[in-house]
Amino acid sequence: MTEPKLFISYCWSSPDHEDWVLRLGTELRENGVDVILDKWDLKEGNDANAFMEKMVSDEEIKKVILVIDEQYSDRANARKGGVGTETQIISAEVYESVDQNKFVTVVASRDSEGKAKPPVFYKSRIYIDLSDEELYGKNFEQLLRWIYDKHLNVKPEIGKNPHS
């Protein structure tokens, strides 16, 4: 089995947040995931918009993580900057895609009221919360299970009809 290929979409909110994303990407790579991240893969002279579009539409990239903090959601909702461009591409993919397993939101931090703030186009979807250090290990395992399609609660097979 080849390692799953995954793109991380995030906002350059602050140096601390960028470091958090780099750590997440590194930890995923250490767990066998081929992470594509602009800091590593977008080089000088490359077209940033073409890079973002390829990351979302490339069939080799099986999973996309949206790392959410307040600025990501604000920029996504206002369609501003790189996040805004990615949002235009991603939201179309999310709404049009039959496969709902390509995208997941990872909450990196909560707002001042302690609430997760996913962008509008993702509000009704289930997310993975890595904002709480105490739950990070358990929820990181949940993220890995999502990436590898190895869910914790597997639906059992249907047994035979006892009356047949």
Mean residue pLDDT across the chain:
77
Most confident of 41-45, 64-68, 76-80, 122-126: 64-68
Residue-level pLDDT at 30: 96
**Nearest of 52, 108, 107 to residue 82 by alpha carbon:** 52
Q: Where are the domains of the chain?
A: 5-146
In the chain, beta strands by DSSP E? 5-9, 34-36, 63-68, 103-107, 127-129
CATH number of 5-146: 3.40.50.10140
Structure tokens at 28: 């995923």
Q: Report the sign of the C-alpha dihedral through residues 53, 57, 59, 62, in that order.
A: positive
Percent of the chain with pLDDT over 90: 17
Would you place residue 48 in the very low, low, confident or very high pLDDT band (cuts 50, 70, 90)? low
Position 95 pLDDT exceeds 90: no
Residue-level pLDDT at 19: 92
Most confident of 70-74, 99-103, 144-148: 144-148
In sequence order, the β-bridge partners of residue 63 are: 6
Position 63 pLDDT exceeds 50: yes
Q: How far is residue 150 from each of residues 12, 142, 145, 147, 155, measured CA to CA in Å?
A: 31, 9, 5, 8, 12
Distance CA 88, CA 108 (A): 21
Position 74 pLDDT exceeds 50: yes
First to last CA, the chain: 40
- Please give the residue that has the higher pLDDT: either 158 or 97: 158
Q: What is the pTM of this model?
A: 0.74
User: How confident is the model over 99-142, as pLDDT tens digits?
Assistant: 567 888 888 877 677 776 666 555 656 788 898 888 888 999 99
Residue-level pLDDT at 96: 55
In sequence order, the β-bridge partners of residue 106 are: 67, 128
- Please give the residue that has the higher pLDDT: either 139 or 87: 139
Q: Which residues contact 112 (CB under 8 A, 6 or more apart)?
A: none
- Please give the residue that has the higher pLDDT: either 41 or 139: 139
